[in-house]
Amino acid sequence: MTGSSALMAIGHILMCYTLFFSFHANKAFGYGATVVESNKSHAPPSCSGTTTGLRVVHKYGPCSPSGLRKTSAVASQILVQDKLRVRAMNSRLHNRRTIGLEGEGTTDTYLQNDLPGAGNFLVSVGFGTPLQSFNLALDTGSYVTWVQCEPCTESPCPQQQNASLYYPSFSSTYSNAPCSPWCNYTQTYLDKSKSGGVFVLDTVSIGQDYQIPEFIFLCAVPDKETGDFGEADGILGLGLASSGDEFATYSLATQTANLFGRVFCHCLPSSSNSGYVYFGEKAREQCPFSGTYTRLLRNPVSGDSYYFVNLIAITLGQKKVEVPSGILSSPGTIIDSGTVITHLPSSVYSELSQEFDRLMSEFPPANPSDDGVLKACYNLVDQDNLAIPEMVLHFENLDVNLDQTAVTWKGNDDMSQVCFAFAAKENEGDVTIIGNHQQQKLNMLFNIPDRRLEIGPGKC
């Protein structure tokens, strides 16, 4: 990969951030169903969850710093952004260049290696001295950390600060990154928008426990015409970098290898709670070994660019469906915190959605999601004692019971559109992706040196 293509990829992430359960049963479904009382209260939920570690909040929950709510329009927007991210990831793996939305004349609008996404989960990270905190999207699918900023290129530097921007010149610990000639970049996109920035070096504070001096990250400049980058101020990149990537040494895992040992754990919350990220020994302590793990595998095509695992089968209620080996070549499944909805081979999705429809047959159907990603949807307004079929992901050497909130997706607050929260892959050659909606309330411990992924019940 050339330096320019890598910079295109990182730059377009910035632009893309501007876009931004349950079943009734008067009689039980039998084995593999969890019954929950419906909550008809319209009182705003309180923010609860852990107070230790690096706190993770849902962008549309009560813990969100922006105070946004997940309306039907927001839910639709999330799914549109998610579709683009999935296409971008497969574009990167297959060297494809066409991933725009249908009907928009968007061929080649998003170039290879671009990774747009909804950025649903936010963490607060401090930059510079004195420390200034920013809300970054947590992303295991990208490895460069960036924050929107305003570098000072003219003298005198501005005295008035925008609280949403990092100002390198105002930090006493800032310096230029040793990345010549690729520190500076600009990128113009086919829709005429622009993004650009510079790699810088400064102290970064992660949670209350760690200050990392001389950390290299991307100082991304907002385009004055298109505005800022959305609710997220940037990205905390927890992903892997292939050895051939131009900026592989700038990944958080590499820069903190001596401090954290390339080990971290996260628990992604439901929208009503907060979660956490821990690093190094604290990750091992707070996300204790459950006794089993699945291997982190190297994909023969992409190398170590994503966290690949071997997904063998999925069980919904009493029905177990085998997952065929990826056409791309096994392993063909990615664990990704930046993708929302899990995307499955069409044959697997078809069997599971038919079983979902069978279990839901007594309820009125609802329209599919606006973007067509979620097709099996039902109207569950005023339904009491909602029964949610249990769902299990069967990985190599590891079975993972999903939380009940991970099985369905609510298109709005009134339960009039409750959908099976899985989608079919657009192309059979695409990778299977386990999205963040299915990772909710699970401890996910990534042990990169030992190439292990441990998954167990979380406390978020």
Q: What is the DSSP string of 33-57?
A: EEEE------SPPPPEE--SSEEEE
Which ranges of 179-305 does DSSP label H, i.e. alpha helix?
Answer: 252-255, 257-260, 280-286
Catalytic residue among 114, 245, 304, 336: 336
Catalytic residue among 82, 114, 139, 430: 139
Task: List, for residues 297-330, the tens digit of each pLDDT value.
Answer: 987 666 667 899 999 999 999 999 999 875 444 4
Mapped onto helix, strand or coil, the DSSP state of residue 447 is strand
Map 90-149 to HEC letters: HHHHHCCCCCCCCCCCCCCCCCCCCCCCCCCEEEEEEECCCCEEEEEEEECCCCCCEEEE
Superfamily of domain 54-93+116-457 in the CATH hierarchy = Acid Proteases (2.40.70.10)
Q: Which of 173, 164, 163 is nearest to 128 (CA)?
A: 173
In sequence order, what are the beta bridge partners of 387?
35
The Cα 147–Cα 200 span in angstroms is: 11
Q: Is 371 annotated as catalytic?
A: no
Task: List, for residues 139-162, the tens digit of each pLDDT value.
Answer: 998 888 989 988 776 666 766 678
- Those residues whose C-beta lies under 8 Å from the C-beta of residue 100, and which sit 6 or more positions away, are 84, 106, 107, 108, 109, 110
Mean pLDDT of 14-20: 34
Q: Which two tokens stand for residue 316?
A: 């919904």
Helix (H) / strand (E) element for 359: namely: helix 346-359
The pTM assigned to this predicted structure is 0.83
pLDDT band at residue 392, thresholds of 50, 70 and 90? very high
Higher pLDDT, 396 or 290: 396
pLDDT of residue 321: 96
- Map out the domains of the chain as residue ranges: 54-93+116-457
Mean pLDDT of 102-131: 62
Q: Is 403 annotated as catalytic?
A: no
Mean pLDDT of 288-296: 90
Task: List, for residues 219-233, the tens digit of each pLDDT value.
Answer: 887 665 444 455 788
Distance of CA 314 to the CA centre of its chain: 21
pLDDT at 338 over 50: yes
In sequence order, what are the beta bridge partners of 457?
442
pLDDT band at residue 246, thresholds of 50, 70 and 90? confident
Percent of the chain with pLDDT strictly greater than 70:
72
pLDDT of residue 126: 96
Is the four-CA dihedral 270, 99, 326, 295 of positive or negative sign? negative
Higher pLDDT, 30 or 153: 153
Mean pLDDT of 358-366: 88
The Cα 109–Cα 123 span in angstroms is: 30
Helix (H) / strand (E) element for 75: namely: helix 72-94
The Cα 14–Cα 80 span in angstroms is: 17
